[in-house]
Amino acid sequence: MSIFTGAGIALVTPMNQDGSVNYDEMKKLVDYQIDNGTDAIIVCGTTGEASTLTHEEHIDTIKECVSMVNKRVPVIAGTGSNCTETAVFLSKEAAKVGADGLLVVSPYYNKATQNGLVKHFSTVAAATDLPVVLYNIQGRTGVNIQPKTIAKLVKGVDNIVAVKEASGSISQVAEILSECNGEVDIYSGNDDQIVPIVALGGKGVISVLSHVAPKDTHDMVMKVIEGDVKGAAELQIKYIPLIKALFSEVNPIPVKAAVNLMGFNAGSLRLPLTEMEDENKAVLKACMEEMGIKCV
């Protein structure tokens, strides 16, 4: 059974002025997303600045998010690390505080071999009964989880059930589905590829765009599933300029600026990330307003 179908949001982690996590504002964001059709909350992922959270903050943020959501939609916790032992620890703790699933990125910097990836993911998955979503994003990790490796993991480990595919290659998505005989859930990791990936048989998207357009991102997925590919494609094409603006600087710099422009208090970013350049921010704001998104 799929963890979710539709649009899951890769949630930003709002920060107070002193740099601590702003749970009050996170609750507002969570409620806004669920009220506007978002199908799952992904907490402490790349967009949530997990790499600069302490272990204590990481676990507390997952715990607080689970409480905020209160079983309205699934909560998927990012628990990946380039250290297998750390990923195991975070995964166990996420299970203890009530997460519904885990998003586990491939080890970054180490650049493990494919055999190393199999050992790493198998070890993490064995630490909990929660369903595991592999996260394949070579642009950030330096290594591609190859389709045959994904198939080996999906067929050999019961609770490895899905992949967040951000390779950018539609051909790779098709190959993964072929190698797995279609028995794997694929979520687009790129907002500009939602329609083609779902059309191939994907279950949806783990999205940054959902921060500013939750209903349309949900609808984009469901239109494909329900057979209205033309309607879905129109939405996909409509949002391309905004998606481009949301990734004009490294994620989550632009999306945090976008959330602040909407009137939420997402705060600033933790170093080494810095505030969005004024020129890029102006383009982002113009794109948002063109889409009918009110900005302050």
Q: Write the pLDDT tens digit of every residue in 261-277.
A: 999 999 999 999 999 99
Q: What average pLDDT does the segment 273-285 reach?
A: 98
Give the domain CATH number at 156: 3.20.20.70
Q: What average pLDDT does the segment 71-82 reach?
A: 98
Report if residue 296 sits inside a domain.
no
8 A C-beta contact, residue 21 and residue 221 = no
Report if residue 282 sits inside a domain.
no
Question: Angle 147-156/170-179 helices, nearest 10 degrees?
Answer: 40
pTM to 2 decimal places: 0.97
> Could you confirm whether 164 is annotated as catalytic?
yes
Residue listed under structure tokens 């051909």: 171
What pLDDT is recorded for position 175? 98
Q: Is the pLDDT of residue 1 over 80?
A: no
Among 1-5, 129-133, 167-171, name the one with the lowest average pLDDT: 1-5
CA atoms within 13 A on the CB side of 264: 27
Token code pair at residue 34:
């669920």
Report if residue 261 sits inside a domain.
no
> Could you confirm whether 23 is annotated as catalytic?
no
What pLDDT is recorded for position 62? 98
Q: Is the pLDDT of residue 4 over 90?
A: yes
Q: What average pLDDT does the segment 7-19 reach?
A: 96
> Could you say which of 164, 203, 256, 281 is catalytic?
164
Task: Find, among 255, 279, 243, the residue nearest to 14 by Cα.
Answer: 255
Report if residue 234 sits inside a domain.
no
Report if residue 281 sits inside a domain.
no
Report if residue 242 sits inside a domain.
no
What pLDDT is recorded for position 128? 97
Domain range for residue 56? 6-226
Query: Beta-strand (E) ranges in the chain?
Result: 6-10, 40-43, 75-78, 101-105, 132-136, 160-165, 185-188, 204-207
Query: What's the pLDDT band for 184 if we cut at 50, 70, 90?
Result: very high
Q: Is the pLDDT of residue 8 over 90?
A: yes
Task: DSSP letter for 74, please.
Answer: -
Report if residue 86 sits inside a domain.
yes
Q: What is the number of structural domains in the chain?
A: 1
> Could you say which of 135, 152, 203, 223 is catalytic?
135
Report if residue 129 sits inside a domain.
yes
Q: Is the pLDDT of residue 77 over 80?
A: yes
CA distance linking residue 251 with residue 26, whole number of Å: 18
**Burial readout 13-50 (b: 16 or more C-beta within 10 A, e: otherwise):** bbbeeeeebbbebbbbbbebbbeebbbbbbbbbbbbbb
